[in-house]
Amino acid sequence: MVEATKDRILMACNSLLREMPFERVTVSLIIKRSGVSKSTFYRYFLDKYDVLNYNYKRNLDRWIVSRKCKNWRELYYCIFSSSIKDKRREKNAYAVGGTNSYSQFLHDYSYQTIENMTVSCRGIPLTREEKLNLSLFCYGGIAVNEDWLKGELDYTVDEMTDLIFMAMPESMRYLWKQPK
């Protein structure tokens, strides 16, 4: 029941993002489109940013846990394929900048996911240099994805996947451990 309700809210938000930029999407519109009450919305999400970010988190976690992806390259393929399939929604999600932005969440959650996987595989924390390289990789990958969605980069999904995979810090690139 909880997941079904969260999914209804998420689908409503995604539907609205296919129609308008994120700045015009409001909690009231999401509530109306999803058919849930205001209290139900706030039981599951803090605000519209939380719904937007939940979409990425849910997809990323699902791809990793479901064993659909067996390495980073396969995960990047899922990310780019998903982005291009829902290009309008993704472009509208990227449209808002700042502290609470989609881009910032993508960086933070991607960084955390790669760091956790790396530490889990090798049993030691990232070095100072690896932390910097990972942050640069995450920011760069997100910016490249946004430019690609805008049509500023002429690459196929496979080409984008390979380029991003090869840009990943080498010390982390081949470390992958399925969660139990």
Q: Report d(CA 167, CA 148) in Å as an integer.
A: 16
pLDDT, tens digit, 9 for 90 and up, residues 30-73: 999 999 999 999 999 999 999 999 999 999 999 998 877 999 99
Tokens read off for 91: 């472009």
DSSP-assigned letter for residue 23: G
Percent of the residues in the chain that have a pLDDT greater than 90, as a whole number: 89
In contact, 10 and 48? CB cutoff 8 Å = no
Task: Of 91, 23, 81, 71, give the one whose Cα is nearest residue 168.
Answer: 71
Kindly report the pTM of this predicted structure: 0.92
For the chain, 180 residues long, the average pLDDT of each consecutive 10-residue run is: 92 96 96 97 96 94 87 95 95 86 94 95 96 97 95 97 97 84
Q: Report d(CA 124, CA 127) in Å as an integer.
A: 9
* Distance from the Cα of residue 73 to its chain's centroid: 15
Q: What does residue 49 show for φ and ψ, rounded to 5 degrees?
A: -65, -40
